[in-house]
């Protein structure tokens, strides 16, 4: 079991660390590798690093073996108290969603009822029937021969063994059922107990059954959640009450390297809270058709109202008729935009409202949504392009490593840079969903400044990575990339700190109530 909080250098994490020291590892790395850069303001971040950050939560990673051990230990405790077998204690705990205290308390007064509910038979008189009774007909396959094994629970509904096995296999393998597998008889509520199941089915099905039980155990406990990464068998233990997820974004990092939200199971979506994410995703799904239509179609010039078609990628539009220059996204005059496209990171409510008033009101609100949506989507897309670029570059680096005196460690800076870039883009992406719902007040200016700083830093690093690599200049490039990587990481931290603190302090006002 490893305890940890995510720190900025999670991109260090991969399969090669020992689970017990992954937090320490993180700290060490950041001090040695990134600590000495003299970037302004970065020194503050280093000091801050010692404390837990506002956007971090406590959690631990539990491998499957620990999950199984926890069940056994709870069961052996209960079996001691109630005087039942380990297996029976396990079944009892399952039917009480692993709430030991409640089980023991209720069992004292209503033991028989509770045993029945859990499908447990304590006495020998009611153990399963294994022989075919006289005049037997299996009501599943209609076989009426008197030979061959059969199976029936204490309810007396007997079926032939092959049918029972097929039935249980169907329930477990096809339907993923493990908690309440009932007697095959129509309307019979007798639960097939674990012992009977294990006797009746193949070992592979028993393994699947056990896996389902482990799944159900984790699902039963509020403080546990499986890591959603494919093929990962770890669970995360996070003791925060779920009610706090309105104001905390519980991002966790599994030992497998996957970072995700403990609250909802989606990939890391800081700084947006789970409720906001849900609402945004629903909006995106609902609006995608209309949005596609609108974005594919024309607009009217803010001045002369003649129809303008967007045909290039640039947002700088010039009306063919009156030569009015404006921004395609916010419809505001281009003169206010400076020279860089990312200056339109805010949907200036004042300077462009007049221009947009000429458009239909509904269109304006859709455009507002599109503004944020396009940026949201753009970072996802760009992160993919960054990855593609990295794959290409990686080959080149490998070659360099073979032909020059650079060591493996020394060529790792590109991987780190791309990893930081990706996580920054993911953060940026969610800042746009966050901003979409954010009501403007005097606190939001700082947020938008931070967002823009991160955006500029991200694009600068991205651009740097696109530069062709020349062998003579590799040391220089490496230093530049390292510096920019540190800087981008620190900008991300600023955004996350500010938004997380704001959420905790109730500083943000949102248009909508996403706290359910």
Enumerate the active-site residues: 314
Which residue in 64, 129, 140, 212 binds Zn ion (CB under 5 A)? 140
Under the binding rule (CB under 5 A), the answer on residue 433 touching Zn ion is no
Q: Which is nearer to another protein, 170 or 247 (CB)?
A: 170
- Round to whole Å and give the CA distance between 238 and 215: 17
Q: Among 32, 101, 112, 187, which residue interacts with another protein (rule: CB under 8 A)?
A: 187
Helix (H, G, I), strand (E, B) or coil at 158: strand
Tokens at residue 299, please? 């607009």
Options 45, 150, 163, 329; binder of Zn ion; rule CB under 5 A: 163
Residue closer to another protein by CB (options 189, 362) is: 189
254 binds, among Zn ion, another protein, none (CB under 5 to 8 A by kind): Zn ion
Residue 506 falls in which region: left (phi positive, over 0), alpha (psi -120 to 50) or beta: left
**Interaction between residue 167 and another protein (CB under 8 A):** yes
- Strand, helix or coil at 227? coil
CA distances from 38 to 34, 46, 141, 371 (A): 10, 11, 79, 36
Q: Is 218 in the site for Zn ion (CB under 5 A)?
A: no
Q: Tell me which of 36, 38, 101, 142 binds another protein, using CB under 8 A.
A: 142
How many CB atoms within 10 Å of residue 163? 18
Give the interface segment with another protein, choosing from 43-51, 61-69, 80-88, 133-141 (CB under 8 A).
133-141
174, 289, 405, 470: residue in contact with another protein (rule CB under 8 A): 174
Cα R_g (the chain), whole angstroms: 30
Q: How far is the CB of 412 from another protein (least distance, A)?
A: 49
261 binds, among another protein, Zn ion, none (CB under 5 to 8 A by kind): Zn ion
SS3 105: helix
Q: Using the rule CB under 8 A, give the single segment among 167-175, 236-244, 259-267, 412-420 that binds another protein.
A: 167-175
Among 64, 68, 104, 140, the residue binding another protein under the rule CB under 8 A is: 140
Which of the residues 261 through 280 are near Zn ion (CB under 5 A)?
A: 261, 263-264, 274
Minimum distance from CB of 179 to Zn ion (Å)?
17
Per-residue contact track with another protein, 73 to 112, x per CB under 8 A?
A: ----------------------------------------
Using an 8 Å Cβ cutoff, are 2 and 236 in contact? no
C-alpha torsion sign, points 97, 98, 102, 105: positive
* By the rule CB under 5 A, 138 interacts with Zn ion: yes
Interface with another protein, residue 190, by CB under 8 A: no
DSSP 3-state of 180: coil
How many helices (H) does the chain have, and how many strands (E)?
14, 12
**Which three-class secondary structure state does DSSP give residue 37?**
coil
* Residue 418 binding partner per list another protein, Zn ion, none, with a CB distance cut-off of 5 to 8 Å that depends on partner kind: none
* 129 interacts with another protein by CB under 8 A: no
- Pair 450, 492: CB distance under 8 Å: no
Longest dimension (CA), the chain: 98
- Least separation in angstroms between residue 194's CB and another protein is 20
Does position 155 bind another protein by CB under 8 A?
Answer: no
By CB under 8 A, tell whether 117 contacts another protein.
no
Q: Name the minimum Å distance from CB 250 to Zn ion.
A: 7
To the nearest whole angstrom, how small is the minimum distance from the Cβ of residue 182 to another protein?
8
Tokens of 82: 């109630």
Cβ atoms of residues 6 and 246 within 8 Å:
no
Contacts of residue 286, Cβ cutoff 8 Å, sequence gap at least 6: none
Binding span for another protein by CB under 8 A among 24-32, 182-190, 295-303, 461-469: 182-190
DSSP H or E run through 326: strand 325-327
3-state SS assignment for residue 315? coil
Tell me how far apart the alpha carbons of residues 242 and 223 are, in angstroms, rounded to a whole number: 9
- Tokens encoding 125: 């008189």
Give the helix ranges, DSSP H, for 96-193.
100-117, 161-169
- 1 lies in the binding site for Zn ion (CB under 5 A): no
Stretch that binds another protein, among 101-109, 163-171, 337-345, 381-389 (CB under 8 A): 163-171
> What CA–CA distance (Å, rounded) separates 248 from 56?
9
For Zn ion, the closer of residues 129 and 155 by Cβ is: 155
CB 466 within 8 A of CB 392: no
Q: Does 393 bind Zn ion (CB under 5 A)?
A: no
Query: What residues line the site for another protein (CB under 8 A)?
Result: 139-143, 162-163, 166-167, 170, 174, 184-188
Query: What residues line the site for Zn ion (CB under 5 A)?
Result: 138, 140-141, 143, 155, 157, 160, 163, 183, 185, 188, 190, 227, 229, 232, 234, 254, 256, 258, 261, 263-264, 274
């Amino acid at each position: 079991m490893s305890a940890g909080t995510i720190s900025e250098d999670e991109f260090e994490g991969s399969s090669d660390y020992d689970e017990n020291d992954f937090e320490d590892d993180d700290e060490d790395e950041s001090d040695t590798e990134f600590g000495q850069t003299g970037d302004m303001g970065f020194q503050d971040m280093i000091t801050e690093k010692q404390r837990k950050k506002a956007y971090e939560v406590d959690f631990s990673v539990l491998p499957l073996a620990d999950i199984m051990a926890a069940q056994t230990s709870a069961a052996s405790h209960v079996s001691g108290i109630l005087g039942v077998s380990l297996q029976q204690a396990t079944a009892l705990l399952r039917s009480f969603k692993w709430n030991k205290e409640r089980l023991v308390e209720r069992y004292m007064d209503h033991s028989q009822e509770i045993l029945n509910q859990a499908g447990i038979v304590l006495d020998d008189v009611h153990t399963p029937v294994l022989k075919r009774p006289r005049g037997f007909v299996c009501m599943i396959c209609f076989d009426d021969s008197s030979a061959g094994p059969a199976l029936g629970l204490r309810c007396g509904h007997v079926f032939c063994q092959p049918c029972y096995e097929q039935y249980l296999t169907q329930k477990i393998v096809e339907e993923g059922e493990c908690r309440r597998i009932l007697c095959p008889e129509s309307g019979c509520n007798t639960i097939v107990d674990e012992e009977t199941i294990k006797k009746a089915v193949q070992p592979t099905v028993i393994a699947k059954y056990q896996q389902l039980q482990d799944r159900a155990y984790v699902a039963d406990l509020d403080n546990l959640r499986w890591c959603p990464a494919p093929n990962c068998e770890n669970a995360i233990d996070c003791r925060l009450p779920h009610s706090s997820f309105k104001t905390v974004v519980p991002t966790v990092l599994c030992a497998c390297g996957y970072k995700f939200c403990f609250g909802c199971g989606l990939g890391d979506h800081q700084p947006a809270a789970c409720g906001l994410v849900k609402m945004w995703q629903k909006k995106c799904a609902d609006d995608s058709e209309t949005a596609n239509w609108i974005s594919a179609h024309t607009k009217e010039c803010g001045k002369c109202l003649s129809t303008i078609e967007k045909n290039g990628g640039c947002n700088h539009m010039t009306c063919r008729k009156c030569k009015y220059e404006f921004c395609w996204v916010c419809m505001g005059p281009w003169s206010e935009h400076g020279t860089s496209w990312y200056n339109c990171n805010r949907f200036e409510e004042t300077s462009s409202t007049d221009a947009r008033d000429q458009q239909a009101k509904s269109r304006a609100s859709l455009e507002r949504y599109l503004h944020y949506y396009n940026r949201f989507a753009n970072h996802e897309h760009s992160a993919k392009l960054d990855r593609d670029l990295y794959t290409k570059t990686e080959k080149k680096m490998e070659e360099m490593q073979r032909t020059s005196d650079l060591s493996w460690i020394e060529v790792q800076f590109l991987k780190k840079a791309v990893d930081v870039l990706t996580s920054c883009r993911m953060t940026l992406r969610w800042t746009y969903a966050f901003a979409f719902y954010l009501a403007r007040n005097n606190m939001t200016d700082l947020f938008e400044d931070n967002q823009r700083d991160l955006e500029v830093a991200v694009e600068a690093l991205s651009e740097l990575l696109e530069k062709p690599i020349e062998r003579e200049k590799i040391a220089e490039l490496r230093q530049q990339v390292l510096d920019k990587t540190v800087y981008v990481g620190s900008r991300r931290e600023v955004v996350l700190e500010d938004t997380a603190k704001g959420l905790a302090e109730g500083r943000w006002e949102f248009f909508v109530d996403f706290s359910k």
